[in-house]
Structure 1
Amino acid sequence: MDLTEYKICKAPDCAYYIPNFITEEEEKQLLGNIYSSPKPKWKELSHRRLQNWGGLPHPKGMVAEDIPLPHEDGPLFYPTITTVNVGSHSMLEFYRPVKPDDEKDDSSQSLSDRHIGSLLLEPRSLLILQEDMYTSYLHGISQVAEDVLSGDIFNIELCSSNIGDVLVRDTRISLTIRHVPKVVKANMIFGRRR
């Protein structure tokens, strides 16, 4: 698949956005599978729930941490992270991180001062993040009930919505697909021997 037509040119390198990556029927099937998962598979976090399939992230490999917002995913999943968005739209916000030498200057601590832009993630879309968009910026989702679309949305020209539209949020599911090149056995991390 040639991704050139899906590159988000207004964002720092490198992000791709593919609207309608899956069909409505595929979305329904995915949602059915997710909601029918056994309760122990869900991990409760602040204002959201999470399912990890294939392991739990750990600095030494795969084995859970609460993820603050905004956050970075870290080097474990580098160089590419992909997300299929289902159920509802969402707005992914990007921020410059606070550098250690900036910590003395309180004005640089403001989240709004560090905001560089947003990505509108519509239902059934695919987002691919690489390079600086993955390694150099923090990302997060604000806890709001609706989004007023503005000019700071990097991918607005690839979306079906327009600047000025108001989108009401519903339950959104993010299917994040990561390649983890380094996998370790749980007994190496927790000190168990067999």
Structure 2
Amino acid sequence: MLESFRLEECPRTCYYIPDFITKDEEENLIQNVNSVPKPKWTCLKNRRLQNWGGIPGAKGMVPEQIPEWLKGPCKKIFDLGFFKEKAPNHILINEYLPGQGIMPHSDGPLYFPTVSTISLGSHTFLDFYKPIEEDNHEFDSSLENRYAFSLLLEPRSLVVLQDEMYTVLMHGIKEIDRDLVEEKKIFNFKKLGNLYSESEFLSRKTRISLTIRHVPKVLKINLNSLLFKK
């Protein structure tokens, strides 16, 4: 059954599951995200975010307890087998207002080479880019030239990236407030049903993404025990 969600149009390997969670689950998650204390938010220039489970680093991640309201989606993803026997232990929550995005990047070696993302509240276009060819001086390294394709991520959907989709291609979100539907550029278009029309513009709303991953290198020190140690 899981194989039916694999996108054959993409390089290895990408899965897209529409309606991975229900509307009630989506509303509950959004409410919990917006109810956390303000100090839990980290404000960046183009978005704000929350870290749950700890903050990964080169020496390892000091683990923090994951709140109950995030354990449900983590278990639901784990049960699909994407992380093999590795249970998700880190959740990055990003809030994107219309017009906000993130520069093309790769998630890097701090994580098990699988990334899963649930979208809440709004769609977005996740754009993929070829890596910069540093040894090729004639190569045009502009984003326009490196652009490969996009995925339309719908509210309540799950996208999972593995293999070349994780280790080779970079991914990002343009800082725009509406997206143009072009079937040839949207590699999961066949999984979207008949909800979108060619040349249609989709206006973005506030989107919250739950990026759920596994950090292999976890330190034995527990930050919660340090905070309350006398």
- TM norm. shorter chain > 0.5: yes
CA distance in structure 1 between the aligned counterparts of 2:157 and 2:211, rounded to whole angstroms: 12
Determine whether 1:175 maps to 2:210. Answer: yes
Residue 105 (structure 2) aligned to one of 67, 71, 83: 71
Partners of 2:221 and 2:126 lie apart in 1 by: 32
Q: TM-score, normalised by structure 1?
A: 0.88
Match of 1:43 in 2: 42
Deviation (angstroms), 1:186: 7.1
Hey, what does 1:127 align to over in structure 2? 159
TM-score normalized by the length of structure 2: 0.74
User: Comparing 50-59 with 161-170, which one deviates more in the overlay?
Assistant: 161-170
Shift >4 Å, 4+ stretches:
none
Counterpart of 2:200, as a letter, is D
Q: Distance in 2 between matches of 1:51 and 1:3?
A: 30
Alpha-carbon distance in 1 for matches of 2:133, 2:218 = 30
Query: Is residue 2:142 matched to residue 1:110?
Result: yes
Q: CA RMSD in A?
A: 1.8
Q: What secondary structure does 2:4 align onto?
A: helix
1:77 positional shift: 1.3
Structure 1 residue 16, shift from structure 2 partner:
0.3
Which digits, 9 at most, give the CA deviation of each residue in 1:140-174, with x for residues without a partner? 00000100111211101111434322110011000
Matches within 5 A, 1:23-172: 23-62=22-61, 69-102=103-136, 104-105=137-138, 108-150=140-182, 151-159=184-192, 160-172=195-207
Query: In 2, Cα distance between the equivalents of 1:68 and 1:156?
Result: 22
Question: SS of the counterpart of 1:161?
Answer: coil
The one-letter code sitting in structure 1 at the alignment partner of 2:131 is P
CA distance in 1, matches of 2:106, 2:10: 17
Cα pair 2:46 2:102 within 8 Å, conserved: no
Unaligned runs of 5+ in 2: 63-100, 223-230
Which stretch has the larger CA shift, 52-61 or 15-24? 52-61
The residue type paired with residue 88 of structure 1 is S
Whole-Å Cα distance in 2 between the matches of residues 162 and 179 of structure 1?
A: 37
Aligned to 2:6: 7
> 2-side partners of 1:48 and 1:99: how far apart?
29
Q: Tell me the SS of whatever aligns to 1:76.
A: coil
Alpha-carbon offset, residue 185 of structure 1: 5.6
Query: Is this contact kept in 1: 2:129–2:147, CA < 8 A?
Result: yes
* Residues 70 and 139 in structure 1, CA contact (< 8 A), matched pair in contact too: yes
Which sections of structure 1, spanning at least 5 residues, go unmatched? 188-194
Identity of aligned residues (%): 50
Contact 2:133 2:141 in 1 (8 A): no
